[in-house]
Amino acid sequence: GDSVTQMEGPVTLSEEAFLTINCTYTATGYPSLFWYVQYPGEGLQLLLKATKADDKGSNKGFEATYRKETTSFHLEKGSVQVSDSAVYFCALSTRGNNRLAFGKGNQVVVIP
Amino acid sequence: DVKVTQSSRYLVKRTGEKVFLECVQDMDHENMFWYRQDPGLGLRLIYFSYDVKMKEKGDIPEGYSVSREKKERFSLILESASTNQTSMYLCASSLQEYGYTFGSGTRLTVV
């Protein structure tokens, strides 16, 4: 079945550092890929998405490129802020399947 | 601005009580979902619905039921609350496969 794998463990980094969160997927067909962000005490918000190979999603300084050859959708930001501290979830859906498959999420803590 | 509204942010209930968690969306979305979120376990799908009066079991339906009498409202019911149902509950809605819109969540504590 469809699945998403995120790197293990929380990520702690200093303000203005470069952030990468790895996401790989297994899917039948041609999935759409998403990154969601969850700030403390809140629900999940859509951060960015890409619907076909080589598409780049971007929002709030975050970017992710849909790489079909490596089945990956890694999230990157060039210079993080304390306000980026949150949990980040990678997810996918395939055409005709209304369910999203989520990764386990990564806690990101940005230290001033 | 599109919205998914969950009726309570925090809820405390006693063991054995019947608990209703309400979710309303104003986007005319066909699909609605209930998840629970626990540390280390990520998001787990409880139930979902593709249309009014339709429901499908997710990955962990035991101890829960749902109701969807109107398109905009999807209720999660804990028939007899237990302490292991203490969790964050998240409702979401979607139109086809274009991603979800989530509510703010209900943190339920069963004592």
DSSP for A14-35, written as a single string:
ETT--EEE-EEEE-SS--EEEE
- What's residue B2's pLDDT? 65
The C-alpha of B44 sits at a distance from chain A's nearest C-alpha, in angstroms, of 9
Interface test with A, best of B9, B21, B38, B97 (most A CBs within 10 A): B97
Indicate the average pLDDT of chain B.
Answer: 93
Give the pair of three-digit tokens for residue A44. Answer: 């999940």
The C-alpha of A67 sits at a distance from chain B's nearest C-alpha, in angstroms, of 19
Confidence band (pLDDT; 50, 70, 90) for B97? low
Contacts B101 to A, Cβ<8 Å: 46
Confidence band (pLDDT; 50, 70, 90) for B40? confident
Interface test with B, best of A4, A46, A100, A107 (most B CBs within 10 A): A100
Binary contact (A43, B104; C-beta < 8 A): yes
Interacting residues of B79 by C-beta distance below 8 A, sequence separation 6+: B18, B63, B64, B65
Instruction: Provide, rounded to the nearest whole percent, the portion of chain B with pLDDT above 70.
Output: 95
Confidence check: pLDDT of A61 > 70: yes
Contact at 8 Å (CB) between A50 and A56? yes
Confidence check: pLDDT of A45 > 80: yes
**How many C-beta atoms lie closer than 10 Å to residue B91's C-beta?**
28
